[in-house]
Amino acid sequence: MIATKHFNVLIIGAGPAGIGAAIALSKRGIKSIAIIERNDKLGGIPSFYKKKKGGIRTFVRWSRGGIPVFGEDYAKWLEKQLVKTKVQIELQSQVCNIDAKKKILTLVNNEKREVNYSADAIIMACGSREETPAERGWLAGSRPVRVLFTKQLLRLLDGNHLLPMNNPLIIGSDIIGYAVAAKLKAAGASDAIIVDNCSKPKCGFFERLYFRMWSNPNYKGLSAKSIEVIGNKTVTGVMFNGENITCDGIVVCGVLIPNSELALNGNIKVELHSRQLVVVKDYQLSESGWFATGNMLGGFHGAEWCYFNGRRVARTVTNYLSNKPMNLEFKNEKR
Ligand SMILES: Cc1cc2nc3c(=O)[nH]c(=O)nc-3n(C[C@H](O)[C@H](O)[C@H](O)COP(=O)(O)OP(=O)(O)OC[C@H]3O[C@@H](n4cnc5c(N)ncnc54)[C@H](O)[C@@H]3O)c2cc1C
C-alpha cells in the first residue's frame, strides 16, 4: 500500500467521540487532522434522531445541567464546533481496510475512488451497533409480522409516521427499551410491557423517571433462558417463563456491541466473545499509534459521555505524538 496523503492524526468516525477528539486535538495545536465518515452527515447516531413536534428528546446534555435535547440538535451543535476548526472532513468515505503496522487506511471516498491515507496516530471512533436477536440467542419461536428491531421501529415511527402496534411488548430493559416505550406511547400506543432476563430493569432510576413523563411500562423480569414468540401470521403474544403474555407487536432491543471488524481484520487485538478492543493502556490499542474512543470501547454510553471521552483521548494522542510519558490522571482536565 502506498499512501497518497499523510496526516498527523486520522480519525475514523464522525460521531460524538470522533468529533470530540478532533476538536480537542485541534485546540491542542495539532496541525493536520482528518476525520473520515461513511455517512453524508456529521454527528453519528444522534444525527438520525429527528427533531419533531411532540417528539421525545433522548440525548441528555449533562454539561448543561442535564437538559434533554433531540439527537439532531445535538449533532448540529457538534457540527458547529467542528467546522470552526481546520480539521479536514471527509464525508461519504468509508474506511475499508487498515495496515496497522504502517498506520495506513484504505478508504473509498465520495467519488467512489480508493485512496490510501497514512498518519502518525490513528483514532478509531467507529461506535457500536445493536447485536441482532439471532446473535443474541434469546428469542425462540417463529418470526411473524411485527417483530421489529429498534431501528426498524424508529424508521416506521419517525420516517413514515406509522404506528405498527397498539399493545407493544419490548424485549430489553436498558435505556433504549424505555425510550422506545415512551416513543410508542407518544405515538398513540398503550403502555408497553418490558421483559428482560434480570430481576430489575437495567435502565437507571433517573432515566426511568424521565421517561415516566410519557409512559409507565410494566416491567417483567425473570432469569428465563429464552422467550418464545407466539403467532402465525402476526404476533399474538410471547411465552415467558410459563406465562402467556399477549401483545400485538414486539420490539427487540439488541445489546450494543462495538464496530470492531476493521480492527480485527487489521490484526489489532479484539476480545472475540465481547468484540471489545483490547486496550493496552490509556486508550492505546495493541498496535503502537492506534487509539480508540466512545462506544467502540464497549458498554452503553450516552452521546455526551462519548464526546468528552473523545476529548480525553486527544490528550493521550498529543502526549504520544510529542513522545511525552503518558499521564493517567484526567480528573483535572477542563471541559
Ligand atoms: C440504536 C441506538 C440508539 C441510541 N440511542 C441513544 C439515545 O437515545 N441517547 C443517547 O444519549 N445515546 C444513545 N445511543 C448511544 C449512542 O451510540 C451514543 O450516544 C453516541 O452516539 C456514541 O458516539 P460514538 O461517536 O462512539 O459512535 P457513533 O455515534 O455510532 O458514531 C460512529 C461513527 O463512525 C462511523 N463509522 C463507523 N465505521 C466507519 C468506517 N469504517 N468508515 C467511516 N466511518 C465509519 C459511523 O458512520 C458513525 O457516524 C444509542 C445507540 C444506539 C446503537
- Are residue 241 and residue 275 in the same domain, yes or no? no
User: What single-letter amino acid sits at 41?
Assistant: K
- Find the mean pLDDT for residues 127-149: 74
When the pLDDT of each residue in the chain is averaged and rounded to a whole number, the result is 89
Number of domains in the chain: 2
Distance CA 63, CA 330 (A): 17
- 139: domain CATH number? 3.50.50.60
Contact 134, 254 (CB under 8 A): no
**Whole-number Cα distances in Å, 214 to 62, 161, 182, 195, 265:** 21, 18, 5, 19, 44
Contact 291, 124 (CB under 8 A): yes
**Which of 59, 92, 126 to mutate to test ligand 1, by most ligand atoms within 8 A of the CB atom?**
126
C-alpha to C-alpha distance for 169 and 227, rounded to whole angstroms = 12
> Is residue 329 scored above 50 in pLDDT?
no
**CA of residue 40 to ligand 1 center, whole Å:** 14
E-assigned strand segments in 65-136: 67-69, 88-90, 94-99, 104-108, 114-124, 128-130
Closest CA to 90 of 4, 8, 11: 11
Residue 332 lies in a domain: no
Residue 177 included in any domain: yes
Which of 150, 145, 129 is closest to 58 using CA atoms? Answer: 150
How many A from CA of 11 to the centre of ligand 1?
A: 14
Hey, whose CA ends up nearest to atom 38 of ligand 1?
126
Q: Which residue has the cell 495496515?
A: 99
Question: Do 40 and 59 share a domain, yes or no?
Answer: yes
C-alpha cell at 112: 467512489
Whether residue 256 has pLDDT greater than 90: no
Residue 72 Cα to ligand 1 midpoint, Å, equals 13
The tens digit of pLDDT for each residue in 45-63 reads: 999 888 887 788 888 888 8
Which residue, 220, 252, 284, sits at the end of a domain?
A: 252
Write down the H helix ranges in 33-174: 71-83, 133-136, 150-154
Clarify whether residues 248 and 149 are in a common domain. Answer: yes
Distance of CA 315 to the CA centre of its chain: 22
194: in domain: yes
Q: Indicate whether 39 belongs to any domain.
A: yes
Q: Same domain, yes or no, for 207 and 296?
A: no
Same domain, 75 and 220: no
Domain that holds residue 74: 5-129+256-321
Determine contact, residues 169/193, Cβ cutoff 8 Å: yes
* pLDDT at residue 192, as a whole number: 97
Same domain, 279 and 225: no
When pLDDT is averaged across residues 113-139 and rounded to a whole number, the result is 83
Residue in this structure with the C-alpha cell 449533562, named with its chain if needed? 62
Residue 14 lies in a domain: yes
Residue-wise pLDDT tens digits, 5-55:
999 999 999 999 999 999 999 999 998 999 999 999 999 999 988 888 778
pLDDT at 159 over 80: no
Identify the residue whose C-alpha is closest to ligand 1 atom 30: 127
One domain for residues 308 and 262? yes
- The confidence score (pLDDT) of residue 326 equals 46
Measured in angstroms, how far is the CA atom of residue 142 from the centroid of ligand 1? 31
Between 210 and 310, the more confident residue is 310
pTM assigned to the model: 0.85
**Of residues 91 and 234, more confidently modeled:** 91
Same domain, 119 and 9: yes
